[in-house]
């Protein structure tokens, strides 16, 4: 079994739309096959981001580039693409993130479909000016005459168990303050393929953060054919009546576990929502759930202060204040740089989330 999810990047007009995906624990045995793909041709893969192109035919404007991309990438996401499609379409770049994104902006404006890889999300910050002041504003400063919507920026994201200061960060909140781009984070391979293809097809530049711990931890049945999953539409993975749990990426699997714990130990019914898209996020789905349950817990790996959980909390208390039965709870990383040997104490695990649920229920 090859260790990769193959993403089929093509300019086909007909795409299959998939509204639901696979979810479960980080353990491979607990990841379930989505019923929505059970009757179609599919392949079982591990990596959340291995790029290939459909051979029937492939538009030549598609290019992918970044540090070590021609070699296959540090996570082996682009293995074999250079040999298959040539050095003009799959190529390495210097170790210069602002140059990688700047080149991608220019390529997209010139008509290419540019997929730029930042080797780790921790190193996206040198490209911050290019993303915030160039890519995000290009359409607006030209009065909608020009845009770089054909740009998608991929970056491995989040903790991995041993990444320490510079290989574990979750910088999504920085870009949530940046109108003009879309920020997307999948929870697993099947969802990643559909969301990535949606990002590539979207008319706005997109940042696609890939939870790198799932590269080798998640196994799902991924349909072979091309399909998309709508952006900015949250997914209710489990319906409940007492508490709403909201997260994205890796943290979704933590909330699925804590939901089972709460039901078993407390008799508490939890509704679990995968936000999927951070910017723009699905306010309506979250607020409808909170109106029903009266309680909200938001969890992410990034530090709590200024994290995106604060934005969700603020919006929900404005929209649903009279429906709240308890203060909104944020279970997030600490306000410290990401530690190495203390990583297990830093991350918002199921036990921290479980204690937060108990506090809300007993409020």
Q: How much is the mean pLDDT over the chain?
A: 85
More confident residue, 119 or 1: 119
Examine the pLDDT at 159 and tell me if it is beyond 90.
no
Q: Which fold has domain 6-228?
A: Rossmann fold (3.40.50)
Domain boundaries, the chain: 6-228, 235-361
Closest to 32 in 3D by CA, of 259, 142, 191: 191
Examine the pLDDT at 294 and tell me if it is beyond 50.
yes
CA distances from 223 to 199, 207, 208 (A): 18, 23, 20
User: For 21-25, 134-138, 255-259, 353-357, which range has the lowest pLDDT when averaged over its residues?
Assistant: 21-25
For residues 90-104, give the mean pLDDT. 96
3-state helix, strand, coil in the chain (%, to 5): 35, 20, 45
Which residues face 42 on adjacent strands?
223
Examine the pLDDT at 2 and tell me if it is beyond 60.
no
Task: Specify the pLDDT at position 216.
Answer: 81
For residues 278-291, give the mean pLDDT. 98
Q: How far apart are the first and last CA of the chain?
A: 50
Task: Specify the pLDDT at position 34.
Answer: 35
What pLDDT digit, counting tens, does each position of 110-147 carry?
999 999 999 999 999 999 999 999 999 999 998 999 89
Residues annotated catalytic, as ranges: 97, 167
Banded pLDDT at 5 (limits 50, 70, 90): very low
Banded pLDDT at 203 (limits 50, 70, 90): very high
Q: Do domains 6-228 and 235-361 have the same CATH topology?
A: yes
What pLDDT digit, counting tens, does each position of 15-71 carry?
333 333 333 333 322 223 333 444 445 554 444 445 444 444 456 789 999 999 998
For residues 286-294, give the mean pLDDT. 98
Alpha carbon distance 126, 43 (integer Å): 37
Task: Specify the pLDDT at position 31.
Answer: 29
- 14 Cβ partners below 8 Å, 6+ apart? none
CB 227 within 8 A of CB 193: yes
Task: Specify the pLDDT at position 10.
Answer: 34
For residues 306-329, give the mean pLDDT. 98
Closest to 169 in 3D by CA, of 135, 234, 94, 119: 119
Alpha carbon distance 204, 240 (integer Å): 34
Task: Specify the pLDDT at position 335.
Answer: 95
Alpha carbon distance 152, 358 (integer Å): 41
- Write the class of the CATH domain 235-361: alpha beta
Task: Specify the pLDDT at position 61.
Answer: 86
For residues 172-181, give the mean pLDDT. 96
Alpha carbon distance 219, 49 (integer Å): 12
Task: Specify the pLDDT at position 59.
Answer: 66
C-alpha 64: how far from its chain's center? 19
């Amino acid at each position: 079994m090859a260790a990769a999810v193959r993403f089929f990047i093509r300019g086909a007009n007909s795409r299959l739309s998939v509204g639901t995906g696979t979810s479960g624990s980080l353990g491979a045995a607990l990841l379930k096959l989505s019923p929505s793909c059970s009757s179609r041709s599919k392949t079982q893969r591990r990596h959340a981001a291995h790029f290939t192109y459909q051979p029937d035919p492939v538009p030549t404007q598609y290019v992918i580039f970044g540090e070590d991309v021609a070699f296959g990438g540090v996570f082996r996401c682009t293995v074999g693409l250079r040999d298959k499609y040539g050095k003009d379409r799959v190529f390495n770049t210097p170790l210069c993130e602002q140059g990688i994104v700047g080149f991608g902006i220019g390529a997209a404006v010139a008509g290419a479909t540019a997929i730029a890889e930042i080797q780790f999300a921790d190193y996206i910050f040198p490209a911050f000016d290019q993303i915030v002041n160039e890519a995000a504003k290009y359409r607006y400063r030209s009065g909608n005459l020009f845009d770089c919507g054909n740009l998608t920026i991929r970056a491995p994201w989040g903790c991995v168990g041993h990444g320490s200061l510079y290989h574990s960060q979750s910088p999504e909140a920085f870009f949530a303050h940046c109108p003009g781009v879309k920020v997307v984070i999948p929870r697993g391979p099947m969802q990643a393929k559909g969301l990535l293809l949606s990002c590539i097809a979207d008319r706005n530049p997109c940042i696609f953060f890939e939870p790198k711990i799932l590269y080798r931890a998640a196994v799902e049945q991924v349909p072979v054919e091309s399909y998309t999953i709508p952006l900015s539409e949250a997914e209710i993975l489990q319906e409940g009546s007492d508490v709403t749990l909201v997260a994205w990426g890796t943290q979704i699997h933590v909330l699925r576990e804590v939901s089972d714990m709460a039901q078993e130990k407390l008799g508490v019914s939890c509704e679990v929502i995968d936000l999927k898209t951070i910017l723009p996020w699905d306010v309506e789905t979250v607020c409808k759930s909170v109106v029903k349950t009266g309680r909200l817990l938001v969890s992410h790996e990034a530090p709590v202060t200024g994290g995106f959980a604060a934005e969700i909390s603020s919006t929900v208390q404005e929209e649903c204040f009279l429906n709240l039965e308890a203060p909104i709870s944020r279970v997030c990383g600490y306000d410290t740089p990401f530690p190495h040997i203390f990583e297990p104490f830093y991350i918002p695990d199921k036990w921290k989330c479980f204690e937060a649920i108990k506090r809300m229920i007993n409020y």
